[in-house]
Amino acid sequence: MIRIGESIPDLTVTVFHENDVKDIPLASLQGRWVVMVFYPADFTFICPTELEELAENYAKFKELGAEVLSVSTDTVFVHKAWKDTSKAIAKIEFPMVADPTGILCKTMGTYIDDDGLALRGTFIFDDQGVLKSFEMNDNSIGRNTKELLRKLEAAIYVSNADGEVCPASWEPGKKTLSPGLDLVGKI
């Protein structure tokens, strides 16, 4: 399983994107922040609510210089069929990764061997391809795109700040901390 500080896997993935099937080397995404959102399967119950919320906020991710990739063990043909038949999924403009062999899911630690599906894993890679944040949920628990955006904004802020860090529930414009300076006189 990948850990904080490690690099994005050196894999090429097949995606359904812009009504086409494409191969994307993950290394080609360097220079952009990457948000990978793993989910169990197309045509399910919680998954479309999460992906619709991501789709409705995709412009914000792009403004922040991030690419979103949704990932399941379904094929690109299942992704296309889902997009063609679901109003929620029809909103998706980001690449939908097909991982039917589970190679990417296994590499990222989201693969459920007994089911051949992925857990709800969310990974944020910086513009150098280094993992900065990840979260794993039981498949019965949906995620919050607003919180994901907040984490992405915090990671971007910290990467550009000179030693500053973001406290709990930090949002852009709120106070940050300077660890060395904030402790002076408090010890």
Tell me whether residue 47 is one of the annotated catalytic residues. Answer: yes
At residue 181, the pLDDT reads 58
- Secondary-structure breakdown of the chain: helix, strand, coil percentages, each rounded to the nearest 5: 35, 25, 40
At residue 163, the pLDDT reads 87
Indicate the residue type of 76: V
Closest C-alpha to 11, from 30, 26, 33, 32:
26
Domain parsing of the chain, residue ranges: 12-182
Report phi then psi at 16, rounded to 5: -100, 115
At residue 180, the pLDDT reads 67
Which residue among the candidates 47, 92, 105, 124 is catalytic per the annotation? 47
DSSP letter at 110 equals -
> Each residue's pLDDT tens digit in the chain (187 positions)?
899 999 999 999 999 999 999 999 999 999 999 999 999 999 999 999 999 999 999 999 999 999 999 999 999 999 999 999 999 999 999 999 999 999 999 999 999 999 999 999 999 999 999 999 999 999 999 999 999 999 999 999 999 998 899 999 999 989 988 886 555 444 4
At residue 178, the pLDDT reads 86
Structure-derived torsion over alpha carbons of residues 110, 135, 84, 16, reported in degrees to the nearest 10: -60
Three-state DSSP string of 48-84: HHHHHHHHHCHHHHHHCCEEEEEEECCCHHHHHHHHH
Rounded Cα distance between 5 and 185, Å, is 32
At residue 162, the pLDDT reads 85
At residue 184, the pLDDT reads 47
Neighbouring-strand partners of residue 124: 35, 133
At residue 179, the pLDDT reads 82
For residue 5, give both structure tokens.
């500080």
For residue 187, give both structure tokens.
């010890």
CATH superfamily of 12-182: Glutaredoxin (3.40.30.10)
